[in-house]
Amino acid sequence: MSLDAETREQLISSVARFVREKLVPIEDKVSTEDRVPDDVVQGMRDLGLFGLSIPAEYGGLGLSMEEEALVCFELGQTSPAFRSVIGTNVGIGSQGLVMFGRQDQKDYWLPKIASGEVIASFCLTEPGAGSDAASVRTTAIRKGDVYVVNGTKRYITNAAKAGAFTLMARTNPDNKGAGGISAFFLPSNLKGITVGKPEKKMGQQGAHIHDVIFENCEVPADCLIGEKEGEGFKLAMQVLDRGRLHIAAVCVGVSERLVRDSTTYAMEREQFGQRIADFQMIQAMLADSKMESYAARCMVLETARKRDQGVNIAMEASCCKLFASEAVGRIADRNVQIHGGAGYVADYAAERFYRDVRIFRLYEGTSQIQQMVIAKSLLRNAS
């Protein structure tokens, strides 16, 4: 679904204002205290941010992918830890259900996810299964009306706040490959689920990741997403295709913020009797950063529009994630460089963003995984 032009404009400008007035001023505090305040989370609920991608019939905003990207461009203009609050509900936590859920599952869960009443996390990664997502070892063995789940999930964003999990587990241990994996959507308060302590991370303080441990957890059989076992890997891949585009859009937003910060600083800072913005070597860095952020923006919008037209964008989403996440890394690095010594100390946002953006090249598939997806697609289509 797509909004009319006026509603779209209103939404984008409300998000931009919220970011500018409520989020940017507390970036540093959130980072230091490692916590997003409750009133800010409530503000996100009021704006409908938890339900960006949930169809309107379930109380979400039902945005098209292009509209979601436009919102991400705005949300990315501040510390990415804020985006993480809504990120799993909008993306990987909910989309398996949106794409493949049964009607009764959607009716029950999606309104709660859209309103932010329930936080949904995505449990795929394990200690032994990261890039090789098909090697999931967590098992879900059917016994009567339940699946008995055993295993450990790792680096699960928002797990401690989650009211529900999208879980990938092996329902057929005899099939060690992708076909043995099924997807479940289950409440987080079942007996046998423990959430570990938050990990100490390099950046994005305020956003948290945890282990989720399943020990003989009896998951009602109707928590299986859809009707059939063995569909979990393909579900995860399709959720990630979409998620990668979302992350690329966030990278664009952060890139644009950093280009602005670099330019502002270069115009304020004086050396050798003039502002450093007048030195061509500084200008070259500014120009490269702008070029890369603009290229990433164009790629994301083009791919989002294609997806909205129903085109399979698995390969293009990987192109976007690869380019935008690597670009924002270079842009954050140049931003530190332009700030000089000030870029290395925590008084300026440059140091924090440098750490914050590093994860973009890792989660929802590393840069090397995106290269694999792109190359595999090229070879498949050429043969």
Interaction between residue 377 and ligand COS (CB under 6 A): no
Whole-number minimum distance, CB 39 to ligand COS, in Å? 29
Q: With CB under 6 A as the contact rule, which of the stretches 95-103, 131-139, 212-220, 336-344 interacts with ligand COS?
A: 131-139
Interatomic CA distance for residues 83 and 50, integer angstroms = 10
x/- string (CB under 6 A) for ligand COS, residues 190-229? ----------------------------------------
Options 66, 229, 231, 364, the catalytic residue: 364
Q: With CB under 6 A as the contact rule, which of the stretches 69-77, 103-111, 127-135, 245-253 interacts with ligand COS?
A: 127-135
CB 60 within 8 A of CB 109: no
Interaction between residue 167 and ligand COS (CB under 6 A): no
In sequence order, what DSSP letters do the residues of 281-332 get, joined into one string?
HHHHHHHHHHHHHHHHHHHHHHHHHHHHTT---HHHHHHHHHHHHHHHHHHH
Q: What is the CA radius of gyration of the chain?
A: 21
Q: With CB under 6 A as the contact rule, which of the stretches 1-9, 50-58, 189-197, 369-377 interacts with ligand COS?
A: 369-377
Size of the residue set binding ligand COS (CB under 6 A): 21
- If the CB atoms of residues 13 and 131 are measured against ligand COS, the closer one turns out to be 131
x/- string (CB under 6 A) for ligand COS, residues 264-303? ----------------------------------------
Interatomic CA distance for residues 188 and 199, integer angstroms = 19
Q: Which of 161, 176, 234, 306 binds ligand COS (CB under 6 A)?
A: 234
Q: Is 101 exposed, middle or buried (0-12, 13-18, 19+ CB in 10 A)?
A: buried
Interaction between residue 369 and ligand COS (CB under 6 A): yes
Interatomic CA distance for residues 233 and 328, integer angstroms = 29
x/- string (CB under 6 A) for ligand COS, residues 63-92? -----------------------------x
Interaction between residue 12 and ligand COS (CB under 6 A): no
> In Å, how far from its chain's centre is CA 277?
34
- If the CB atoms of residues 58 and 363 are measured against ligand COS, the closer one turns out to be 363
Q: Which of 16, 26, 190, 237 binds ligand COS (CB under 6 A)?
A: 237
Interatomic CA distance for residues 30 and 109, integer angstroms = 30
Whole-number minimum distance, CB 84 to ligand COS, in Å? 12
3-state SS, residue 76: coil
Interatomic CA distance for residues 178 and 129, integer angstroms = 12
Residue closest to 254 by CA, chosen among 21, 74, 71, 87: 74
Q: Which of 233, 265, 353, 354 binds ligand COS (CB under 6 A)?
A: 233
Interatomic CA distance for residues 322 and 344, integer angstroms = 26
Q: Does the annotation count 364 as an active-site position?
A: yes
Q: What is the torsion angle, in degrees rounded to the nearest 10, for the CA atoms of residue 361, residue 364, residue 370 and residue 373?
A: 170
Q: Which of 124, 167, 245, 247 binds ligand COS (CB under 6 A)?
A: 124
Interatomic CA distance for residues 187 and 183, integer angstroms = 13
> What residues are annotated to the active site?
364
Binding residues for ligand COS, per CB under 6 A?
92, 124-125, 131-134, 178, 233-234, 237-238, 240-241, 314, 363-365, 369, 372-373
